[in-house]
Structure 1
Amino acid sequence: MPPLLVCLLLVLLLAVPRPSVAARPGAKPLLFSLRARQVPAGALPRPPSKLRFHHNVSLTVSLAVGTPPQNVTMVLDTGSELSWLLCAPGHQGSAAAAGAARDALFRPRASATCATVPCGSAQCHSRDLPVPSSCDGASRQCRVSLSYADGSTSDGALAIDVFAVGDAPPLRSAFGCMSTAYDSSPDAVATAGLLGMNRGALSFVSQARTRRFSYCISDRDDAGVLLLGHSDLLFLPLNYTPMYQPTLPLPYFDRVAYSVQLLGISVGGKTLPIPASVLAPDHTGAGHTMVDSGTQFTFLLGDAYSALKAEFLKQTRPLLPALNDPSFAFQEAFDTCFRVPAGRPPPSARLPAVTLLFKGAEMVVSGDRLLYKVPGERRGGDGVWCLTFGNADMVPITAYVIGHHHQMNVWVEYDLERGRVGLAPVKCDVASERLGLML
């Protein structure tokens, strides 16, 4: 899960005994405000909910929680289930998080509709939680604990409050009211929560009963867009690849992730000699491929990464001097690195594109998305730039993970109804304009 994820915070939306707002006949589209405006009448045949998000090291969206509503900023994470908020001191304990601003915290005592979730609640015993919940013996409150592959952690109690969703009646929802959070990233962003968007029973997607959502991650900070609900975007020629789901439960397969089947990888048009068995899940479920907006870069398992590294170094030898420092690995997983004179960009337009091949679809990584400048790293008069594909074995991660950096300027649609993921290259600012969003 998220390698550069900042103050991880999570919101659990509880199931409510009514159809989702997006599913109600004649319901108005849900509008989440992040410098967004109402879609003009007739701009879309069935305008879904839309939410603009910020792209930095994390993708963030804005929501309103509580009574009176408090605006919170949350990381959008398709690789997580449990949504959570970092709560201010005085309710669930002493809140602390690296880089968390005081005004970024949720204040449960200031909300007239906030209540704790008891240990006996069904929400406290979801089988989809990565770590089983516990019970506080004194208060009988349900406690949750979360940890991520990058070393980030969060602990707290389950609570219930209302989430404002456009003009619809507020959703009474459960969330993790986290008392402590530690983020291992040095690039912390002042966010107040994490919005879990996978297929688990307690995710935002499941609790809001959203059967389709999509987004476009821009290479500009504020030109991204998130659509909740169904929409036929005729100007986007989406290619679909089926979600992969084994017939039997496997110990290392994340059954609530958005898993697809990776069939091959090419560099500069040359297909890498990677056996099909290396790209497919093994008998334990390890080796599946996840599309994850909560991870910044993309991770490949060791054998596939080694093949990519060798071919990329070979094809870029005339263009870029390799770093040739076996002791250096950016974020402990990115060791295909180069020296670039300080103050100059790398020759991005001349670099060989890396293409991820799926059944029915592909994702092309090219240009500026191939290399990332390592902050503060210098070799004489040169800066250090690394390939944005990491070695999952070095983290370690037991899966292929496609991060949001490689989803930039790609429209990504998650169609749960038909069990598929759609991909289409598009400039996000252009797509936003077509959808009627003010940039």
Structure 2
Amino acid sequence: MYSVYPLLLSNLFFIFIFSFYFQSRSLLLPKNAILPLRIQSIQPGSLTKPPKKLYFNHNISLTVTLTVGSPPQPVTMVLDTGSELSYLHCNKTPTTPLSYDALHSTSYTPIPCTSPVCKTRTRDFTLPVSCDQKKLCHVILSYADATSVEGNLAYDTFRFTDSVLPGVIFGCMDTGSSSNQEEDSKSTGLMGLNRGSLSFVTQMGYPKFSYCISGQDSTGVLMFGEFNTTWLKPLSYTPMVNISTPLPYFDRVAYTVQLEGIKVAGTVLPLPKSVYEPDHTGAGQTMIDSGTQFTFLLGPVYTALKNEFLKQTKNVLRVYEDLNFVFQGAMDLCYRVERSRVGLPVLPNVSMMFRGSEMVVSGQKLLFKVGGLTKGSDDVYCFTFGNSDLLGIEAYVIGHHHQQNMWMEFDLVNNRVGFAEISCDSATQKLGIDS
């Protein structure tokens, strides 16, 4: 979930200490640990470091289930590669019926203001951390979708069946606001998986992680570590973009890749490559974000894509002409589709051309049915690319809807992102996980 505020400078000395701390902890990870929702043992085979598996569900958000605290309490967390700090809702309110009870965990340890952790500079902390009345480290996290949470930093033990991770840093949040209370009621918190020093994947200490998302309202798998995937066709890799100089609108711990062009069927949008590159402020980076549902493009690129898609579908789709309707505030290209029709018509593929690789979006992933909206005998479907400018986001964001039925790999050691088309239902079977 993309953070709306500018990047704060990192405390390099603190990051060095934490890197050593997390690397030391990673040596203690069990050799055959597996992460649930549903868990199966992985045969050692050719694994250089046996992976962990998490089985997840998704609708608007991707969620994983694990346990936290002593004794263990089950929690459900949104999987978010766009965020750093993981957090849990730590009290019960009408909008957050799922919560974690810190008072009943003997391993829960709040972090005081005097701790170096409280002085960490991350993009997630939208305001400088402060001390509350109990001299504990108080943080506020805000996101571009208008959600926010606040509470205290703390340590506790996170568990994945036979894996025990003591002293994981997270946010124990007691207040917050939401743009989607119905979805929030299905989760206990958020698992931050970006490249920051406080992210869950950094604290785990694994060199890479992967996930595969099945179709709408379905399931998938999240895996940490190296594993044998001889049944998976070779991944197409694109390097991550790194900028050493701090820039106000560039998130240096995001999974940033370089978008170089977009084409509809065989037609490349007539735009210069420079329109896809970050400017001198860092605005215009391309991030892969599992915490965002759809894909958002900066205004000039979105307009060019919209016009080309309209041109190529004018004979097979009927535009929904309501100037006052913009789906989710950023998607203004929608269509009327007869409810009696079986399936959507054949649509032109949209390809996002990255440096060294290409991600093809086709078929059902191009249009999304708007729930609860009908016009006569028609349903309304909207184009699944939106306009970043309408959301106030100075970036290209590749959401999880367009990652469905793709194996997504985030290789932290080799500084690259890989992907390959696959049936994720088939992948979970290959991995020995029941649907």
Structure 1 residue corresponding to 2:195, chosen from 193, 199, 210: 199
Q: CA deviation at 1:150?
A: 1.1
Does 1:385 find its partner at 2:388? no
Give the secondary structure class of the aligned counterpart of 1:281: coil
Structure 1 residue corresponding to 2:304, chosen from 297, 303, 307: 307
Does 1:338 find its partner at 2:332? no
In the superposition, relative to structure 1, how do residues 133 and 71 fare at CA in structure 2: closer, same or farther (>3 Å)? Answer: farther
Q: Partner residue of 2:266?
A: 269
Matches for 1:262-411 after TM superposition, within 5 Å: 262-344=259-341, 347-348=344-345, 350-411=346-407
Q: CA deviation at 1:231?
A: 2.3
Does 1:153 find its partner at 2:148? yes
Contact kept in structure 1, 2:59 and 2:217, CA below 8 Å: yes
Q: Partner residue of 2:236?
A: 239
Q: Partner residue of 2:7?
A: none
Contact kept in structure 2, 1:97 and 1:180, CA below 8 Å: no
Cα distance in structure 2, aligned partners of 1:138 and 1:24: 36
Unaligned residue ranges in structure 1 (runs of 5+): 4-13, 89-94
Cα distance in structure 2, aligned partners of 1:363 and 1:390: 17
In the superposition, relative to structure 1, how do residues 2 and 192 fare at CA in structure 2: closer, same or farther (>3 Å)? Answer: farther
Give the secondary structure class of the aligned counterpart of 2:393: coil
Give the secondary structure class of the aligned counterpart of 2:214: coil
Cα distance in structure 2, aligned partners of 1:174 and 1:166: 19
Give the secondary structure class of the aligned counterpart of 2:413: coil
Does 1:139 find its partner at 2:134? yes
Q: CA deviation at 1:42?
A: 3.9
Q: Partner residue of 1:226?
A: 222
In the superposition, relative to structure 1, how do residues 41 and 232 fare at CA in structure 2: closer, same or farther (>3 Å)? Answer: closer
In the superposition, relative to structure 1, how do residues 187 and 275 fare at CA in structure 2: closer, same or farther (>3 Å)? Answer: farther
Q: Partner residue of 2:6?
A: none
Cα distance in structure 2, aligned partners of 1:346 and 1:336: 19
| Further displaced range: 350-359 or 377-386 | 377-386
Q: What is the RMSD computed on CA atoms of the aligned residues?
A: 2.1
Give the secondary structure class of the aligned counterpart of 2:306: helix
Q: Partner residue of 2:121?
A: 127
Q: Partner residue of 2:424?
A: 428
Does 1:39 find its partner at 2:42? yes
Q: CA deviation at 1:190?
A: 1.2
Cα distance in structure 1, aligned partners of 2:188 and 2:386: 28
Q: CA deviation at 1:134?
A: 2.8
Q: Partner residue of 1:167?
A: 162
Q: Partner residue of 2:74?
A: 71
In the superposition, relative to structure 1, how do residues 247 and 21 fare at CA in structure 2: closer, same or farther (>3 Å)? Answer: closer
Give the secondary structure class of the aligned counterpart of 2:133: coil
Give the secondary structure class of the aligned counterpart of 1:421: strand
Cα distance in structure 2, aligned partners of 1:23 and 1:370: 43
Cα distance in structure 2, aligned partners of 1:256 and 1:345: 44
Contact kept in structure 1, 2:210 and 2:224, CA below 8 Å: yes
Give the secondary structure class of the aligned counterpart of 2:318: coil
Q: Partner residue of 1:55?
A: 58
Contact kept in structure 2, 1:287 and 1:301, CA below 8 Å: yes
Q: Partner residue of 1:110?
A: 104
Contact kept in structure 2, 1:124 and 1:133, CA below 8 Å: no
In the superposition, relative to structure 1, how do residues 124 and 45 fare at CA in structure 2: closer, same or farther (>3 Å)? Answer: closer
Does 1:179 find its partner at 2:174? yes
Contact kept in structure 1, 2:238 and 2:416, CA below 8 Å: yes
Does 1:258 find its partner at 2:255? yes
In the superposition, relative to structure 1, how do residues 63 and 216 fare at CA in structure 2: closer, same or farther (>3 Å)? Answer: same
Percent identity of paired positions between Structure 1 and Structure 2: 49
Count of aligned pairs: 418
Q: CA deviation at 1:438?
A: 2.0
Aligned-partner residue type, residue 101 of structure 2: R
Cα distance in structure 1, aligned partners of 2:313 and 2:71: 56
Q: CA deviation at 1:158?
A: 1.3
**Structure 1 residues 369-408: Cα deviation after superposition (integer angstroms, max 9, x where no partner):** 1101111122222221100000000011100000000000
Q: CA deviation at 1:149?
A: 1.0
TM-score (norm 2): 0.91
Q: CA deviation at 1:110?
A: 0.9
Cα distance in structure 1, aligned partners of 2:257 and 2:23: 29
Unaligned residue ranges in structure 2 (runs of 5+): 4-17
| Structure ranking higher on relative contact order (CA contacts 8 Å, 6+ apart) | 1
Aligned-partner residue type, residue 69 of structure 1: P
Cα distance in structure 2, aligned partners of 1:280 and 1:183: 32
Q: CA deviation at 1:342?
A: 2.7
In the superposition, relative to structure 1, how do residues 71 and 391 fare at CA in structure 2: closer, same or farther (>3 Å)? Answer: same
Aligned-partner residue type, residue 55 of structure 1: H
Q: CA deviation at 1:71?
A: 0.8
Give the secondary structure class of the aligned counterpart of 2:39: coil
Cα distance in structure 1, aligned partners of 2:19 and 2:172: 18
Contact kept in structure 1, 2:238 and 2:257, CA below 8 Å: yes
Cα distance in structure 2, aligned partners of 1:346 and 1:318: 16
Cα distance in structure 2, aligned partners of 1:376 and 1:222: 20
Give the secondary structure class of the aligned counterpart of 2:408: strand
